[in-house]
Each structure stands twice: as structure tokens, then as C-alpha cells.
Amino acid sequence: TLVSACRGSAGDCQETNCGVLEPGVNKITAYVWEGGGGWNMRVGLRDISGQVLNDGNGDVVFLGTGEEDELEGQILDEDAGCDLGVNPAGWIRTDGWNMLLSLLNPAGCGGGGVGLMEGNWVDPYDLMDEDPQAGDTWPDIDFTLGFASGFDNGGLTEEPTWVTKRYLDEEFGTDLPTGDVVDFQGIADYLSAAGVTQFSIPNDNVTAIATTYVINQTDDVLPVDICTASDDSIKVIVNEELVTNVSACRGSGGDCQETRPAMLEPGLNKITVQVWEGGGGWNFRLGIRESGSNQNLNGLNGLVEFLGADIDGDGPVDPPPPAGPRFVRGDADDNGVVNLTDAIFNLNYLFIGGAAPTCMDSSDADNSGTLQLTDGIFLLNYLFIGGAPPPAPGGECGLDPEEPADGLGCETFESCP
């Protein structure tokens, strides 16, 4: 946790950040800086579901200051590496967003007011159809329909470039602070102070764009409320629908400043945020709530999964679930059960010109990516001598996790709806 603020201490968490406790003894160190009026702190531990940990739950024991100097110097060699995408309270963390900053705007707030701010969005980039990845450039920004007039990221890159925390840390050797507030001003100040940029990144009358990805794990459209707070104006697009459009001169609140209804489609959903800054602060926080609830979803109830911006280092999201018919691996003849006839079906096709499978993937019993003698042997071993069962989707209908890499495909499979 790294928070720079002038504030009083609240009775509950003012921020929740992710960490990992190693097996055995763990050391916690806190620094508190006092700028006038009070000087205190409170620190507690919660599990990933948000439940407070104490001496009575059996998972941790609080040793206090330890014994003499035995616990000194036990600092982890590596960062805990915890990237939830969303914190336990349901706010999507800084490291869960792909960001582009700073797009220059004329004076707002004090230099034109809310009326001018309403037009301060750049001509829309086709974010609904494209998935920018960290390191991708946007060289052809079109400012013709908005008041935005240029781009300036302090010389960080030659062209407007999408960045994530991971990208910045790996490319420039930084350790960008994170939290449940996406603090563009803090990011700009940090990069300037660290000497990463050639000169200071503008922090007034500017726009930033951020994207993140969420999976609706249900089979139906999921009604949700998008909860936002921002400094200053904010626009939110879920997939192709404009959900939130607030023009304001304000500071960002600790909870929702507005909630707007939205629909998450089954599977992958993309959330795009634009934040316009008119002077004095530049940030936002966003959470997703089940429709009618006052609690943010945190990914633990089976409704949604937060993918963040880049969870595996090779793009903004993991690939969406593969398309194609559902099937059962090993059920080569598509009769609804895996039995001896499936092994015979495979062997007939391979060696005596029998009928071809309508779903090649179902005949690939060992999931090797090819149809061969070993598939029949694999099934016989499974059926009669306790061999390994067919890999997913084995035993129940599902999609092939290897598609399109194995190239076999599945045209039809009547036994699965």
C-alpha cells in the first residue's frame, strides 16, 4: 500500500490492497507521515473474500513485535505478485486497466465550465471493435469532432501508446503504485519524478482512456449496475452501449457517485472509460454491482470473473472461450455414451474406410491433435484396465480448450445441445 493524502483516519478501511502471506513468519512494516492535525493508523488483514482475519480463525497467529531481533530482516526477495484484477471490495485495481494518457483539452471547469466539458471527448477511437494491447500505438487520433487538440505524455513514447502497470514496470524499470483508484495524476507525477519521462506530463485539462475486461460466467444476460466515482468528468461504455456520461467539476468520492444500469453479455465483456480532468485531480474508480445491490461484485460468487487488462503478459485479455459445437471427447460415434463402439468406430475409420466422424475432436480421445491408432488404444485402456479418462471435455458436454490450435474442429455433435 502506498497512499499520499491529507486526511483523517476512518473507522473502517480507507483502502484495501492485495498481498500474499508466505508460509511461516511474515513481517509487516508501516510508515505514517503526518502533515498536520492528527497522526495515526490502523492496519488489519482480510482474506480474499473480505472477511477479517483474527487469532480465532486458525489461519494466522499475530505475534506482535516478535522476540528481540529474531524477526528482523525477513523481507521477501520478490514481490508478492498478487494481481487480482479486482480488490476484495470489488473496485477494479489500477493494474486491471489498459490506459492511454494524456490527451490535451482546452480549459474546462474554471475556463469554460461544465458546458464546455461536455464536448471534451476526442473523436471516438473504434474501441468497440478493437482490443488495444499494452505497447500498441494510436498514431491517427482524430480530434475533429471534439475539443481535444493534441497528445502529450511527457516524452514517454513518441506516439500515443497504451500502457499497463506491468508494461511500464517491465519497459522502464518502475514500480508503479496501485490501488482501487486509477489515479492518472499520481501516475503522471510518479513517472515524471522517477525521470522516466523527458518532462512533466500535463495534469490539467486532459483526457485519459482506460479499458478492462470482465467475463459473465452465467449463461444469460446479466443485469448489473456500473458504480463510478471520478475527478472530473467520466464516460463509461460497456461493449457498445454508452452507460455513464457525467460532465462535472468535482473530486472523486470514496464510494459510488453514480450508478447506471448495464447488461453483461454471456462470456467476454469490455468496459471502456474516458476521464476528463479540468484541474485539481484526475482519477476514477469503478465497480460492478448485481442489479439492485449496494455491494460491488468481487469475483467470488460465480457471476463474473475480472480479467483485468493483461493477466498473462501476451495481450489485453486471455482469449475468449473457443467457438464451435459442444461435444464429449471419446464419444466418436456420437451416440451419447463413451463405450467399446467408439474405439471400434475410430479403428474402422482409420483402417477399413469406415464413416468419418462428424466431430473430429470427439474422436481425438487422447487430445493429441491428430486421429491415429493411439486414440482407439487410449479408449480401450480407459474402458477396461483403468487408464486415464479422456481430457476435457470428457465426461460431459463442453468446448475444446485446444481450438483452434489443434485444427481438427467439430462440425456437428448431436448428443450435446
* CATH code where residue 368 lies: 1.10.1330.10
Q: Is residue 224 part of a domain?
A: yes
List all residues 6 or more positions away from 303 whose beta carbon is below 8 Å from its beta carbon.
216, 217, 218, 222, 290, 297
Among 308, 333, 366, give the residue marking a domain's end: 308
**Based on the domain organization, do 44 and 141 belong to the same domain?**
no
Q: Is residue 92 part of a domain?
A: no
Q: Which residue has the higher pLDDT, 298 or 384?
A: 384
CB 169 within 8 A of CB 134: no
Strand pairing partners for 50?
none
In whole angstroms, what is the distance from residue 359 CA to residue 125 CA? 40
CB 134 within 8 A of CB 98: yes
In the block, residue with C-alpha cell 470428457: 394
**Based on the domain organization, do 204 and 302 belong to the same domain?**
yes
- Residue 339 pLDDT level (bands cut at 50, 70, 90): very high
**Based on the domain organization, do 184 and 252 belong to the same domain?**
yes
Q: Which grid cell sits at 412? A: 456437428
- Domain limits at 128? 98-308
DSSP state, 265? P
**Based on the domain organization, do 263 and 300 belong to the same domain?**
yes
Q: Which of 211, 190, 210 is nearest to 275 (CA)?
A: 210
Q: Kindly report the length of the chain.
A: 417
**Based on the domain organization, do 400 and 370 belong to the same domain?**
yes
Positions of E strands within 232-334: 233-238, 241-246, 258-264, 267-277, 283-290, 304-308
Q: Is residue 209 part of a domain?
A: yes
Q: Which residue has the higher pLDDT, 277 or 279?
A: 277
**Based on the domain organization, do 296 and 339 belong to the same domain?**
no
Using DSSP, state whether 200 is helix, strand or coil.
Answer: coil
Query: Is 66 a residue whose pLDDT tops 60?
Result: no
Q: Which amino acid is at 356?
A: A
**Per-residue pLDDT tens for 245-270?**
888 888 887 788 999 999 999 988 88
Q: Say what the pLDDT of residue 82 is.
A: 44
In the block, residue with C-alpha cell 475486461: 213
